[in-house]
Structure 1
């Protein structure tokens, strides 16, 4: 059981190989959080996007009635790790499998197969992620789709879920605490 858990964590890049890599993941995660914040600030200027207050969600109502520190902590640890594991985890596993097939010289190593599979998987991941965020109106769906693109790019670039979890968690923490 312990060995299987270790292989799972290694396969998804959940444990850094060195302190330098951990620091790099923290920097990339912080940069992703800044990119998500900048995108959230620019998105309301797009025409025809509608927004619905999040006050309809009972979880948000319960969290909103707590202190800023609790809202920050909730945003940091509650949605981001689960969403990244659910939406970017299978995508990262596919990417790593395709890279392994490329090393073995498999038919899946052909560039058009690899990029076709990754493109369709990334599109499906972003669409599914955005569809899960319909509660806040079209502005929230557009925001979730852009968030999915940024976190997918970070996940595939770093071959790890950690920077995407850090960026997504920091963004959610700030938006829950002060947004």
Structure 2
């Protein structure tokens, strides 16, 4: 729900422009297929690889910092954990958004917002499953109907 609501808000930001589907290489790949094929493609194609590349390292870092906290070593300092996770999350979000530049500035804004929401879900649940499901369903909707 947060991804959908966020994308609706981003669409109303003035000055953001998207690339027409006729020029977007991701849309060209599945343009002449049925809605079901486009939905399935969006559900399974980009999401797993992107989540493993962008969110998995953050999850590993977060879990490592939690383990350090339980052991009580120097990494247990709260400010250090927040600083490391904040920096890693910011870097991951910027990289994720920059990787979506082919769709125009609107797509970059959507990706940045989605990255924050998906990262929060993965870290909160301590699992990539919520991020994989959310990302897959968002992409499936975008490829099939948007």
What corresponds to 1:51 in structure 2? 18
Q: In the alignment, which of 37, 40, 44 is matched to residue 4 of structure 2?
A: 37
Q: Does 1:162 align with 2:129?
A: yes
Q: 1 CA distance for matches of 2:35 and 2:105?
A: 27
Determine the structure 2 residue equivalent to 1:121: 88
2:113 corresponds to 1:146: yes
Decide whether the 8 Å contact of 2:24 with 2:103 is kept in 1: no
| Structure 1 partner of 2:29 | 62
Structure 2: state its 5+ residue gaps: none
Retained in 2: the 8 A contact 1:54–1:135?
no
Query: C-alpha separation between the residues in 1 aligned to 2:124 and 2:69?
Result: 17
Number of residue pairs aligned between Structure 1 and Structure 2: 146
**From 85, 88, 93, the counterpart of 2:55:** 88
**In 2, distance between residues paired with 1:54 and 1:127?**
24
Structure 1 51/58 Cα, relative in aligned 2: closer, same or farther at 3 Å?
A: closer
User: CA separation in 2, counterparts of 1:168 and 1:80?
Assistant: 6
The Cα RMSD (Å) is 1.1
User: For each residue in 1:17-71, what CA deviation from the matched residue of structure 2 results, as whole angstroms up to 9, or x when unmatched?
Assistant: xxxxxxxxxxxxxxxxx22112112212112212222432434212121011110
* 1:111 paired to 2:86: no
Residues 65 and 75, structure 2, Cα contact 8 Å, conserved in 1: yes
TM-score of the two chains, using structure 1 as the length reference: 0.79
Separation of aligned partners in 2, 1:85 and 1:146: 18
Contact conserved, 1:95 with 1:156, CA < 8 A, in 2? yes
Task: Kindly indicate which of the two structures has a greater share of residues assigned to helix.
Answer: 1
